[in-house]
């Protein structure tokens, strides 16, 4: 009987030591949950002093929130619903949002500042300023549209169509004799289709 009581007391002493360790230690330190769930109700999960949150696998955030500080994400990011970025930034790849609000899509640059708004394609530009829409070739040729008409410019020549009529300027000249005796100021077309003003 004494031996049995001694054994029981040893068991009780071991249980007391284990309970003391549980009460004095960090309950969640080196812990794990398998097939279960940890739920915080009206509480805060706070990581500080250099702590790291490492999420492996799928995860989900619901409700309003805020992230302060630098964030790096890898993989495809899909945003369903409205979004808003405040401040300057860049999206690298086929699409870029550049300083000044310019947007690069492949070889096309949308510039909201130049000439009231410009589309740049391969060195050529399309822009609107007030009621004027202009398409400019890198070599200097232009198409200009406004509320009164349209003008074509190229090689120093201009052709204008307006509500009040049409106009030509910058045409090469030909003599009256070279134009079959046409009077000065008349228009003459040569055999190759060239348009001339009779001097």
The string of pLDDT tens digits covering residues 6-53 is 677 788 888 888 888 777 766 677 778 888 888 889 898 888 898 888
The string of pLDDT tens digits covering residues 112-163 is 777 777 888 888 988 877 788 888 898 889 898 888 899 988 888 888 888 8
Is the model's pTM score more than 0.75? no
In 33-176 the beta strands, taken as DSSP E runs, fall at: 95-97, 103-105, 108-111, 118-121, 124-129, 132-136, 142-146, 149-154, 157-162, 165-169, 173-174
Domain ranges (residues) in the chain: 87-163, 168-199
């Amino acid at each position: 009987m004494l031996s049995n009581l001694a054994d029981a007391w040893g068991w009780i002493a071991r249980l007391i030591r284990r309970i003391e360790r549980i009460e004095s230690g960090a309950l969640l330190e080196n812990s794990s949950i398998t097939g279960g769930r940890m739920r915080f109700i009206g509480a805060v999960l706070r990581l500080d002093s250099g702590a790291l949150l490492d999420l492996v696998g799928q995860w989900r955030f619901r409700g309003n929130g805020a992230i302060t500080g630098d964030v790096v994400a890898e993989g495809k990011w899909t945003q369903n619903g409205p979004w808003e970025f405040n401040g300057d930034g860049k999206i690298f790849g086929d699409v870029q949002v550049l300083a000044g609000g310019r947007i690069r899509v492949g070889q096309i640059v949308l510039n909201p500042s130049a000439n009231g708004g410009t589309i740049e394609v391969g060195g050529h530009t399309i822009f609107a300023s007030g009621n004027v829409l202009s398409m400019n070739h890198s070599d200097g040729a232009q198409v200009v549209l406004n509320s009164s008409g349209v003008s074509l410019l190229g090689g120093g020549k201009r052709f204008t169509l307006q509500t009040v009529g049409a106009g030509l300027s910058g045409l090469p000249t030909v003599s009256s004799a070279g134009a079959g005796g046409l009077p000065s100021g008349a228009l003459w077309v040569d055999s190759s289709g060239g348009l001339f003003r009779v001097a």
